[in-house]
């Protein structure tokens, strides 16, 4: 099997990319994850079934990594948005706006964030060292991005907290407040508050935690 690192998410080989896209299309067609087979994926991708096992140890590994690939593309989209935004406060608002606009990915984002801050010990049922190497790569990618953003806030004088773990926890709390307030259909709020008010409340709460 080929070596699998975080580059598999952002620069997958052509055949792997086709398998990832096939998984995304099957899910978009409301296919149940448990019912998706390797044969369904490879037929949709237009490649032989054996090719899948040249890259992945199991059906489960292929599907989970395909989900990470799908989300990785969204993270790259967010990265572009943040590069076009100057101040810390504005960047935090853009992150929350982006999350609010992608309500269908809320739970995936929450789970990945919990992994990154170390609060989720049960990573995945996939029993693969290669998979966990990939997951570690994604964890490092997300954690370094969060740490960079939080350091900007500290340097701009938005808060005084220097402990990295507490910064990550405060950031995660802000994300959770917005993600859990607005479900998959973000126009239907769990609480009767306009999104803009929830965004400000969550951001101000994070600043208070760090000051």
Residue 37 falls inside a structural domain: yes
> Do residues 14 and 41 share a domain?
yes
pLDDT score at 205 = 96
Residue 117 lies in a domain: yes
Low-confidence ranges of the chain (pLDDT < 50): 1, 111, 115, 120-124, 184-187
Q: Tell me the pLDDT tens digit for each residue of 76-133.
A: 888 899 999 999 999 999 999 988 887 666 555 554 555 455 554 444 455 556 666 7
Burial class (CB in 10 A: 0-12, 13-18, 19+), 179: buried
Non-local (6+) Cβ contacts of 175 within 8 A are 95, 96, 99, 109, 110, 113, 202
| pLDDT at position 120 | 41
Please choose, from the candidates 58, 57, 69, the residue with its C-alpha nearest in 3D space to the C-alpha of residue 23. 69
Kindly state whether residues 151 and 201 are assigned to the same domain: yes
Enclosing domain of residue 61: 1-69
Number of H helices, E strands in the chain: 10, 0
The pLDDT value given to residue 149: 95
Are the C-beta atoms of 137 and 75 separated by less than 8 Å?
Answer: no
pLDDT at 108 (0 to 100):
53
Same domain, 94 and 189: yes
| 76 is a domain residue | no
> What per-residue confidence (pLDDT) applies to 104?
62
User: What is the pTM assigned to this prediction?
Assistant: 0.70
Residue 44 lies in a domain: yes
Query: Which CA distances in Å does 62 have to 8, 46, 52, 91, 207?
Result: 11, 16, 8, 33, 40
Which domain CATH number covers 40? 1.10.10.60
Q: Looking at the structure, do residues 197 and 118 belong to the same domain, yes or no?
A: yes
Q: Is residue 196 part of a domain?
A: yes
Q: Do 97 and 187 have their domain in common?
A: yes
Q: Are residues 176 and 126 in the same domain?
A: yes
Do residue 172 and residue 204 come from a single domain?
yes
> Which pLDDT does position 88 carry in this prediction?
97
Residues 65 and 105 in one domain: no
């Amino acid at each position: 099997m080929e070596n699998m690192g975080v580059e598999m998410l952002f620069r997958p080989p052509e055949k792997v990319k086709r398998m990832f896209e096939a998984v995304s299309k099957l899910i978009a067609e409301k296919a149940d994850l448990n019912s998706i087979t390797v044969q369904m994926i490879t037929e949709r991708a237009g490649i032989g079934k054996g090719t899948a096992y040249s890259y992945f140890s199991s059906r489960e590994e292929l599907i989970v990594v395909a989900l990470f690939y799908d989300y990785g593309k969204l993270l790259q989209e967010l990265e572009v948005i943040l590069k076009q935004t100057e101040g810390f406060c504005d960047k935090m608002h853009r992150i929350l706006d982006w999350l609010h606009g992608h309500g269908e990915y809320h739970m995936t984002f929450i789970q990945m964030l919990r992994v990154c801050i170390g609060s989720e010990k049960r990573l995945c049922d996939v029993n693969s060292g290669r998979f966990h190497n990939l997951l570690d790569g994604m964890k490092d990618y997300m954690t370094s991005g969060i740490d960079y953003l939080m350091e900007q806030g500290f340097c701009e004088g938005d808060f005084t907290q220097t402990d990295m773990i507490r910064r990550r926890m405060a950031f995660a709390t802000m994300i959770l407040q917005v993600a859990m307030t607005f479900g998959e259909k973000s126009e239907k709020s769990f609480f009767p508050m306009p999104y803009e008010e929830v965004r400000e409340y969550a951001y101000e709460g994070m600043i208070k935690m760090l000051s």
